[in-house]
Structure 1
Amino acid sequence: MVATAETAPPPRRLDDVPGWFPVLDQTLFNWFLDRQESAGMRGDLLEVGVYMGKSAIFLGRHLRDGEGFTVCDLFGGDAPDDANRAESTKSYSALTRQAFEENYLSFHDALPRVLQGPSSMVPDEVPPRSCRFVHIDGSHLYEHVHGDIGAAHDLLLPGGIVVLDDFRSEHTPGVSVAAWEAVLNRGLRPICLSTQKLYGTWGDPEPVQEELLAMAQGREDCHLSVQQAAGHRIVRLKSKGMQAPPFPPSRHANTPEPPAATIPTQPTRRPVDPPKRPAVPRSRTRKIAADLLPPVVTRAIRKARNR
């Protein structure tokens, strides 16, 4: 039986939470957030599209006292239009708010602020210029991503970071168009590209890029390349056997593992021995031999036995 959100055991490690959050992006999230914290930057966190909570759990570890964390997702609720409804039904039918909350609370003591509904509600619920880090991983439709990027522009503090997921996947052209349109026409400055995500800012990207380049050049597990495109310096990063950054285990880490499913085996059958012929009494054997064998042979056998 395939494990579902209802039947899967509680997560023990971050890797046990279903979702798409590659090791390279875990490393970059850590690096950008640690850099902000080291610089004394304070602000809220926002994630649009949470699925089962893997990246939200990761972000929650960087939440400090006095900061807020908001997540937004349909969680199987009503979509704002037919296209979004079809997308949600096809890709996220197993997603429920309960599954997300149970996964999140396996690693944290309290939930973030949860908005259940379309991402268009975020600008009315999150104050402008309040966020230092925004992760957009919701709808893949151009109209929704375009709106999410506009919301991020208004919500981010100066120097804040926005991360756009699936900006170049073959099945998400709407994200690609919205992302590069924002770079070319809406003032978004790319900082770097990972395999799946575009990291950008509406501030000056050069200082953070220089620090990022120094970090990447000092690692043997990170492939680095730099290109120029339409007046922008594009830093491309790719994992070379990179290991995930350390992350504390969940509260379920010390509970006994559920027994592995076993396939019952048939009991081994003992082979049946062939039926034995009944033994013929010795006296009867001698009598038959005396009656059938010639006298000469019978006397020779008796003499041999007596000797």
Structure 2
Amino acid sequence: MATTQEAMRPPHRLDDVPGWFPVLDQLLFEWFLNRQEAGGTRGDLLEVGVYMGKSAIFIGRHQQPGERYTVCDLFEGDAPDDANRAESTKSYSALTRRVFEDNYRSFHDELPRVLQGPSSLVPAEVEARSCRFVHIDASHLYEHVHGDIGAAHDLLLPDGIVVLDDFRSEHTPGVSIATWEAVLNRGLHPICLSTQKLYGTWGDPEPVQEALLDMARERSDCHLSVQEAAGHRIVRLKSKGMPAPVFPPSKHAVAAKAPEPTPAAVSAPAPAPAPAVPPARPAPRRGSRVRRVAVDLLPPVVTRAIRKARAARS
């Protein structure tokens, strides 16, 4: 569970947003949404139960022009009953609407439409048969999940996709019962199972399931198994070290100041020019030196005669 400090820290990457959104489910969300868009399917998007916004941020990247994106959560509001209130207090005490909105705005310019309150608000606020993709990750109590699945049935387009979280966690038996009840008694066709979520449709599951099998068989990082149960083909997928889909960094990361360039080293002052060395006097010729010494040693009369003779020659 995220601490208040972690929830308030500005995210730089999707992984910095607290929450539970495994890499395999990121891959599957990306695959289902891309397939709809490539096939020309248009429709609204809905997430029920957003926590800190991790999967909501991911889905928001796929909102196409003209589509409406709605999210619903209690946030810090009052739960509709004691059981839901106890669940919220235990598991989601750090969640506030402001934290969700700050996280979402870190990656997107505009917020989705936010419904603050129980998921029972959704059917009256979202148009019937308007959604192409619905992610349900709200209350884990059977009665609430049963109602959320019924709402998804009414809101989805004929071949729309519903994703049910925590359908087999040991601490969420209410979700498991409501999910498999929908498969056995309410016409929901499972497309695939990840370790955490069931992906289904009330339309024809075969075309999308065949395309999914082709994709999974081409990947070396995805374990695949296929089983039959109660007349349904069950495709199970598991990650084998697969990388997460590339997701753009947040505005915090983009706007973060680049590291200051290391200041150029201050140049050491140029050494002062060495003082000019006076040109060396040419060494006197040896003969001249000998004559000078000889003149100094002769008697004065002879020395004067020699000097007069030199002066006369110059």
Sort the TM-score into its range (normalised by shorter chain): 0.7 to 0.9
TM norm structure 2: 0.80
**Structure 1: 4+ residue segments shifted above 6 A:** none
Deviation at 1:7, TM superposition (A): 6.8
What corresponds to 1:79 in structure 2? 79
Q: 2 CA distance for matches of 1:32 and 1:5? A: 34
Equivalent runs, 1:49-68 vs 2, <5 Å: 49-68=49-68
Give the aligned residue type for 1:97: R
Q: 2 CA distance for matches of 1:77 and 1:5? A: 21
What corresponds to 2:108 in structure 1? 108
Q: 1 CA distance for matches of 2:23 and 2:6? A: 27
Change (3 A) 1:221 1:116: same
Deviations 1:42-76 (A, max 9, x none): 00000000000000000000001000000000002
Q: 2 CA distance for matches of 1:249 and 1:151? A: 34
What corresponds to 1:166 in structure 2? 166
Q: 2 CA distance for matches of 1:20 and 1:186? A: 28
CA contact (8 A) 1:13 1:250 kept: yes
What corresponds to 2:90 in structure 1? 90
Q: 2 CA distance for matches of 1:113 and 1:138? A: 17
What corresponds to 1:26 in structure 2? 26
What corresponds to 2:303 in structure 1? none
Give the aligned residue type for 1:170: E
Q: 1 CA distance for matches of 2:28 and 2:180? A: 21
3-state SS, counterpart of residue 80 of structure 2: coil
What corresponds to 1:277 in structure 2? none
Q: 1 CA distance for matches of 2:7 and 2:65? A: 35
Q: 1 CA distance for matches of 2:213 and 2:6? A: 43
What corresponds to 1:152 in structure 2? 152
**Greater C-alpha radius of gyration:** 2
Matched, 1:47 2:47: yes
What corresponds to 1:227 in structure 2? 227
Q: 2 CA distance for matches of 1:198 and 1:3? A: 28
CA contact (8 A) 1:225 1:237 kept: yes
Deviation at 1:9, TM superposition (A): 2.2
What corresponds to 1:247 in structure 2? 247
Q: 2 CA distance for matches of 1:57 and 1:186? A: 30
Aligned length: 256
Deviation at 1:80, TM superposition (A): 0.5
Give the aligned residue type for 1:105: R
CA contact (8 A) 1:164 1:199 kept: yes
What corresponds to 1:198 in structure 2? 198
Q: 1 CA distance for matches of 2:168 and 2:3? A: 30
3-state SS, counterpart of residue 253 of structure 1: helix
Q: 2 CA distance for matches of 1:168 and 1:147? A: 18
CA contact (8 A) 1:5 1:95 kept: no
CA contact (8 A) 1:6 1:99 kept: no
What corresponds to 1:302 in structure 2? none
Q: 1 CA distance for matches of 2:15 and 2:160? A: 28
CA contact (8 A) 1:5 1:99 kept: no
CA contact (8 A) 1:162 1:201 kept: yes
Deviation at 1:4, TM superposition (A): 1.7
3-state SS, counterpart of residue 127 of structure 2: coil
Give the aligned residue type for 2:189: R
Q: 2 CA distance for matches of 1:107 and 1:17? A: 11
CA contact (8 A) 1:193 1:236 kept: yes
Gaps (5+ residues) in structure 2? 259-314
CA contact (8 A) 2:7 2:94 kept: no
Change (3 A) 1:33 1:50: same
Change (3 A) 1:7 1:29: closer
Change (3 A) 1:5 1:158: farther
Matched, 1:138 2:138: yes
